[in-house]
């Protein structure tokens, strides 16, 4: 009665809750001590509601609970420093001569090729009517396979070696492949001997064996260091092998010799983009 203003006036209600800094700090210490602790356990320890704990975690500490992510290896401090040094060296080398950085760069890696690789779920998608799920018989990859060691650079494949059945890749075997690489370079890259070949390989035990390292040193190749425990950073894994296996997927081969011919044609013509 008697009001003449149309503005809302303050009214009674539930007061705004204020979280004391010491409660937030205590909550933070509990979380840091055990990253897997449950909200209920934190609430019982501090003696406040679970809703308040969630508010502190989300609004004040900006934290949320996620599933753990698998990593290849938990690195030691010296290994982390090694990664940093390798990245800095490669970046400095690129900045010295960006246009010619990839010319003398040769990389190598091994991979398995099956005679038959089933198509993925993404590749087997079909148009269907409502409530008519597509059916597909379950298949497994062919047990017959061949290992290929591929040497390549920015201009294409230099050569591919296929491991004979029943044999394994050893340091001596890999050293003979490196020696063969020098002969292939003279034929397919005659301009490279004038420069120092920058040779890249990962840190597999076969690659870093005594006989393999001695051969690389004897040939006077400049070895490009590879970060420890980072196999997915090898150029073959994010450029050559995915494209190559994409073209081979869902194709059937009766013998490894026919497969090897197709691999060579595809890798030479489609998987490498000249620079």
Instruction: Mention every residue, 6+ apart, whose C-beta is less than 8 A from residue 7.
Output: none
pLDDT over 80 at 215, yes or no: yes
Give 210-215's long-range contacts (Cβ < 8 A, gap of 24+): 210/171, 211/171, 211/172, 211/175, 212/171, 212/174, 212/175, 212/178, 214/175, 215/175, 215/178, 215/179
Contact predicate 220/196, CB 8 Å: yes
* Tens digit of each residue's pLDDT (9 = 90 or more) over 49-59: 888 888 888 88
To the nearest whole percent, how much of the chain has pLDDT over 70?
72
Contact predicate 19/56, CB 8 Å: yes
| SS3 call for 10 | coil
**How many residues belong to the chain?**
275
Determine the Cα–Cα distance for residues 103 and 93; give it in Å rounded to an integer.
Answer: 13
Determine the Cα–Cα distance for residues 210 and 223; give it in Å rounded to an integer.
Answer: 14
* Tens digit of each residue's pLDDT (9 = 90 or more) over 33-53: 888 888 889 888 888 888 888
User: Residue 78 has which token pair?
Assistant: 């010296």
* Tens digit of each residue's pLDDT (9 = 90 or more) over 126-166: 666 666 666 666 655 555 778 889 999 888 888 888 888 77
Mean pLDDT of 202-210: 91
pLDDT class of 273 with cuts at 50, 70, 90: very low
In this prediction, residue 260 carries a pLDDT of 57
Determine the Cα–Cα distance for residues 121 and 118; give it in Å rounded to an integer.
Answer: 9
| SS3 call for 35 | coil
Higher pLDDT, 33 or 245: 33
Mean pLDDT of 254-263: 60
- Would you call 176 exposed, middle or buried from its count of C-beta atoms within 10 A (0-12, 13-18, 19+)? middle
Determine the Cα–Cα distance for residues 86 and 227; give it in Å rounded to an integer.
Answer: 6
In this prediction, residue 151 carries a pLDDT of 93
Q: In what order do the strands lie in the sheet with 145-153?
A: 156-162, 145-153, 105-114, 198-200, 222-224
pLDDT over 80 at 205, yes or no: yes
Quote the pTM value: 0.62
């Amino acid at each position: 009665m008697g009001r003449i203003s149309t503005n809302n006036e303050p009214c009674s209600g539930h007061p705004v809750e204020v979280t004391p800094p010491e409660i937030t700090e205590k909550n933070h210490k509990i979380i840091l001590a055990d990253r897997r602790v449950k909200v209920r356990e934190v609430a019982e320890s501090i003696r406040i509601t679970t809703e308040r704990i969630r508010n502190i975690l989300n609004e004040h500490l900006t934290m949320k609970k996620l599933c753990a992510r698998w990593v290849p290896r938990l690195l030691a401090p010296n290994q982390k420093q090694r990664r940093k040094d390798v990245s800095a060296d490669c970046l400095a080398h690129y900045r010295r001569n960006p246009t010619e950085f990839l010319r003398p760069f040769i990389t190598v890696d091994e991979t398995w090729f099956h005679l038959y690789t089933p198509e993925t779920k993404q590749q087997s998608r079909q148009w269907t009517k409502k409530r008519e799920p597509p059916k597909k018989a379950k298949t497994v990859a062919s047990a017959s396979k061949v290992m290929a060691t591929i040497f390549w650079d920015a201009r294409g494949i230099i050569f591919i070696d296929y491991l004979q059945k029943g044999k394994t890749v050893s340091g001596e075997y890999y050293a003979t492949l490196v020696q063969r690489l020098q002969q292939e370079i003279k034929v397919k890259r005659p301009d490279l001997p004038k420069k120092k070949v920058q040779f890249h390989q990962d840190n597999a035990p076969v690659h870093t064996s005594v006989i393999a390292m001695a051969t690389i040193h004897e040939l006077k190749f400049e070895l490009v260091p590879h970060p420890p425990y980072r196999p997915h950073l090898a150029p073959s894994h994010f450029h050559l092998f995915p494209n190559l296996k994409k073209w081979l997927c869902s194709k059937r081969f009766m013998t490894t010799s026919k497969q090897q011919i197709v691999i060579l044609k595809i890798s030479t013509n489609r998987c490498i983009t000249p620079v």
